[in-house]
């Protein structure tokens, strides 16, 4: 038994020692997001929360607000919270669960692994948004039928596009925090600090110092992202989205990537 | 073949690995022996590119690990059997490795079979595995790509005696078919059972190196006899030193073959005669005693 299991494949693949293709690493990383207990329930809870949000909207929203936009927002909110957590865990798990010992020896190019993880997180993010769209459509159809109001389709393709961009920026913030800290609790706490505490501080600053109010959209990533969620940004709002993303996402992500490249995997 | 050349790792003030060079040859099981904290794991992490060396290189069949296109097909690595996501099943862990390497899916079942993990055990989450089961799963992961080289850190740790024997047979078979095995251990007895060659490391430096036979040879004999006086006289007459332990066993610097001849000539019946393997063990114990932990305890 021992001998056969160990020898008969050798000739088969010894001939084709091709490098591990990126698409394969992406597929494996996608699988790793679902095949743990925590990963599975995170994904499941996104769908469950989306359905609950739809039901809650049907039950509690005033009849005149039963529009596609209301449903989309209700479903999108839990997703923007959960997607970054999925992105964080995808990265930090390699360190906190120490699976990196295997991952980085099977693919000894960390940049490639991180790229694959980022791509698979984005795939999950886009898939989640599409699910939200479908659930929102069903909710809108069912909700208006129950309430007896007219169907209102008030989410344009452009709006849906910017909502996807906004959600992906949230998600990539998770990726960035994962790279930067490589520790699940630290990354999670920091994530809630920068999404909940920081905007509050910016808000207080803006109301006390009128000068800061003008600067705020250029430094407050949450505020800039809200331009994406509240319908397509106009004029310099795009520049503000780009600036805050550079400041709060791209720069720290590059720093985090540097840490990942240098760190010792134990 | 694994070639380690002048490998060092320095952390701020401490030197974990100090200019280590050796080779692990094809067809041989090389035991990397040393007390805890001697630098075995750091050396192994440097071999597979998880830790950057301060000096030196490690190559596998002449290439750096990072230059291997699909490392899993050439080198099976197990650095820590417990370094697995507790919430993942054994089968999933093998499937991840199988898919990354791009080998046929049936390899997963073949490997489970090889390491004697049942289908039910494979469906359980690794968090519920015993250390011995994790070691088996780790070995399965290392072997799934059917590599020619194995790098295993403390593979026998947590295995029961039957498990250690199984591991020895598996690695023996692997080496006999031309494979290279490098395994570490902090237990001399384990390495003695499994390895052909031994590299002994202490405080980051190699302190002894060679085939097990060479390292264990030439350190004298342990002899048992009912007639202590006659045996010792015969040995002394031939110019050998002797000493008697409390249980009546005679230790001498003469090799077993010499002792046998002398005993026959002197007409002394022996109850047992074997090589004194104390040489390597003494050096190993010396090394272990040198660590701070033992010194403060003493």
Point out the residue among A27, A97, A101 whose CB comes nearest to the CB of B79.
Answer: A101
Domain holding B259, by residue range, is 221-276
Same domain as B253, residue B107: no
Residue B298, pLDDT score: 37
Mean pLDDT to the nearest integer, B142-169:
93
Residue-wise pLDDT tens digits, A36-85: 988 899 989 988 898 899 889 888 888 888 888 888 888 888 888 899 99
Nearest CA to A179 out of A107, A110, A82 is that of: A110
In a domain, B237, yes or no: yes
Contact B87 A37 (CB under 8 A): yes
Q: Is A22 on the interface with B (CB under 8 A)?
A: no
Nearest CA to A166 out of A58, A68, A84 is that of: A84
Q: Is A11 on the interface with B (CB under 8 A)?
A: no
Same domain as B108, residue B236: no
Residue B78, pLDDT score: 97
**Tokens linked to A146:** 């129950």
Mean pLDDT to the nearest integer, B85-89:
94
Residue A210, pLDDT score: 84
Q: Which residue has the tokens 């959960």?
A: A82
Residue-wise pLDDT tens digits, B10-51: 999 899 999 999 999 999 999 999 988 899 999 999 999 999
- Per the prediction, chain B carries an average pLDDT of 90
d(CA A242, CA A225): 10
Same domain as B118, residue B12: yes
Residue A229, pLDDT score: 86
Same domain as B247, residue B180: no
Q: Is B187 on the interface with A (CB under 8 A)?
A: no
d(CA B38, CA B293): 13
Residues of B in contact with A15 (CB under 8 A): none
Residue A181, pLDDT score: 96
Q: Which chain A residue has its CA at the smallest distance from B46's CA?
A: A264
Mean pLDDT to the nearest integer, B144-160:
94
Residues of A in contact with B69 (CB under 8 A): 17-20
Comparing B240 with B218, the larger pLDDT belongs to: B240
Say what the ipTM of the complex is: 0.87
Nearest CA to B49 out of A106, A116, A260, A105 is that of: A105
| Domain CATH number, residue B7 | 3.40.50.300
Point out the residue among A27, A35, A102 whose CB comes nearest to the CB of B92.
Answer: A35
In a domain, B132, yes or no: yes
Same domain as B149, residue B242: no
Residue-wise pLDDT tens digits, A179-199: 999 999 999 999 999 988 999
Residue A11, pLDDT score: 45
Q: pLDDT at residue A97 above 80? A: yes
Same domain as B151, residue B35: yes
Residue-wise pLDDT tens digits, A234-264: 889 999 999 999 999 999 999 999 999 999 9
Contact A9 B77 (CB under 8 A): no
Most confidently modeled range among A158-172, B211-225, B241-255 = A158-172
Mean pLDDT check: name the lowest of A24-38, A101-115, A159-173, B242-256: B242-256
Same domain as B164, residue B34: yes
Residues of B in contact with A98 (CB under 8 A): 80, 82-84
Q: Which chain B residue has its CA at the smallest distance from A116's CA?
A: B100
Q: Is A15 on the interface with B (CB under 8 A)?
A: no
d(CA A260, CA A181): 9
Residue-wise pLDDT tens digits, B160-210: 889 999 999 999 999 999 999 999 999 888 888 899 999 999 889 998 899
Residue A147, pLDDT score: 85
Q: Is B241 on the interface with A (CB under 8 A)?
A: no
Interface test with B, best of A108, A110, A258 (most B CBs within 10 A): A108
Predicted confidence band of residue B9 (pLDDT cuts 50, 70, 90): very high
Contact A18 B69 (CB under 8 A): yes
Q: Is B103 on the interface with A (CB under 8 A)?
A: yes
In a domain, B70, yes or no: yes
Q: What is the torsion angle, in degrees rounded to the nearest 10, for the CA atoms of residue B221, residue B225, residue B228 and residue B229?
A: -100
d(CA A34, CA A29): 9
In a domain, B295, yes or no: no
Work out how many domains chain B is built from and give that number.
2
Contact B50, B1 (CB under 8 A): no
DSSP state of B89: B
């Amino acid at each position: 038994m021992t001998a056969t299991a160990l020898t008969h494949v050798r000739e088969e693949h010894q001939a084709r020692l091709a490098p591990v293709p990126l698409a394969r690493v992406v597929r494996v990383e996608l699988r790793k997001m679902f095949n743990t207990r925590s990963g599975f329930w995170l994904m499941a809870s996104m769908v469950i929360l989306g359905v609950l949000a739809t039901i809650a909207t049907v039950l509690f929203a005033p009849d005149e607000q039963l529009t596609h936009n209301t449903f989309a927002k209700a479903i999108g909110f839990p997703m923007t919270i959960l997607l970054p957590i999925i992105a964080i865990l995808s990265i930090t798990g390699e360190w906190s669960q120490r699976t990196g010992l295997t991952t980085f020896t099977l693919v000894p190019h960390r940049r490639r692994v991180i790229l694959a993880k980022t791509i698979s997180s984005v795939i999950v993010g886009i898939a989640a948004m599409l699910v939200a769209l479908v659930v929102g459509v069903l909710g809108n159809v069912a909700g208006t039928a129950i309430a007896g109001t007219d169907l209102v389709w008030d989410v344009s393709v452009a709006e849906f596009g910017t909502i996807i961009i906004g959600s992906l920026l949230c998600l990539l913030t998770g990726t960035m925090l994962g790279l930067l800290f490589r520790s699940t609790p630290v990354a999670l706490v920091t994530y809630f600090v920068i999404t909940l505490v920081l905007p509050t501080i910016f808000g207080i600053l803006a109301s006390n110092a009128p000068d800061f109010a003008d600067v705020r959209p250029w430094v407050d990533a949450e505020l800039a992202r809200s331009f994406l969620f509240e319908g397509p940004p106009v004029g310099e709002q795009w520049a503000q989205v780009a600036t805050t993303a550079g400041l709060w996402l791209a720069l720290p992500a590059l720093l985090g990537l540097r840490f990942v490249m240098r760190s010792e995997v134990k | 073949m694994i070639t380690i050349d002048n490998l060092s790792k320095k952390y701020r003030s401490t030197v974990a690995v100090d200019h280590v060079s050796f080779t692990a040859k094809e067809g041989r099981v090389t035991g990397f022996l040393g007390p805890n904290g001697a630098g075995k794991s750091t050396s192994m992490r440097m071999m597979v590119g998880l830790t950057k060396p301060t000096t030196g290189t490690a190559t596998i069949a002449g290439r750096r690990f990072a230059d291997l296109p699909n490392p899993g097909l050439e080198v099976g690595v197990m650095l820590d059997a417990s370094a697995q996501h507790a919430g993942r099943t054994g089968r999933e862990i093998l499937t991840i490795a199988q898919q990354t390497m791009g080998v046929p899916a049936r390899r997963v079942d073949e490997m489970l079979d090889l390491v004697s993990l049942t289908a039910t055990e494979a469906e359980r989450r690794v968090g519920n595995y015993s250390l011995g089961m994790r070691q088996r799963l780790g070995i399965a992961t290392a072997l799934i790509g059917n590599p020619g080289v194995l790098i295993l850190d403390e593979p026998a740790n947590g295995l029961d005696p039957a498990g250690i024997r199984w591991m020895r047979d598996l690695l023996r078979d692997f080496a006999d078919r031309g494979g290279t095995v490098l395994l570490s251990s902090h237990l001399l007895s384990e390495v003695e059972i499994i390895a052909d060659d031994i590299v002994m490391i202490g405080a980051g430096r190699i302190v002894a190196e060679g085939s097990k036979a060479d390292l264990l040879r030439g350190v004298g004999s342990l002899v048992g006899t009912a007639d202590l006086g006659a045996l010792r006289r015969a040995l002394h007459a031939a110019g050998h030193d002797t000493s008697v332990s409390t249980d009546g066993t005679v230790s001498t610097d003469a090799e077993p073959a010499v002792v046998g001849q002398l005993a026959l000539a002197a007409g002394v019946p022996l109850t047992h005669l074997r090589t004194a393997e104390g040489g390597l063990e003494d050096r190993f114990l010396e090394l272990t005693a040198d660590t701070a932990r033992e010194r403060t305890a003493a």
